[in-house]
Amino acid sequence: MKIVLCCAGGFSTTMLMDSMKATVKKSAKLDEKDFSFIAIPVDILQSEVEDCDVLVIGPQIAHKLDYIKPIIEPYQIPYVIVDQDTYGKMDGATVMKQALIARRKADMKK
């Protein structure tokens, strides 16, 4: 599963991405080989969207949803907007759970 984290510059999401990777590594249920992560600025989302399984959107770009949706909707990519508190804590476990739930819901619709 490829999880794309998207923010204004890709810098703070890199820290969140590392926290999500650590969550997978520590998990008894999740296997590191099943996941790939990339943190990018929203400006290059178009180039990373094709093999994306879940999009994680940082709170600082939540207002850009009107720009993001037309890019991801043709690919039926589920997305999660991380709330300010979770993002501030760099709570990778919570974001990982939200991403997995979003993907599962999308799969159930198919």
**Domain harbouring 44, CATH code:** 3.40.50.2300
Give the model confidence (pLDDT) of 33-46 as tens digits.
Answer: 999 999 999 999 99
Mean pLDDT for the chain overall: 95
Cα–chain-centroid distance for residue 74?
Answer: 17
> Is-catalytic flag, 52?
no
Q: How many domains does the chain have?
A: 1
Give the model confidence (pLDDT) of 50-90 as tens digits.
Answer: 899 999 999 999 999 999 999 999 999 999 999 999 999 99
pTM of the model: 0.95
List the domain range (segments joined by +) for residue 11: 2-109
Which listed residue (3, 7, 16, 72) is catalytic? 7
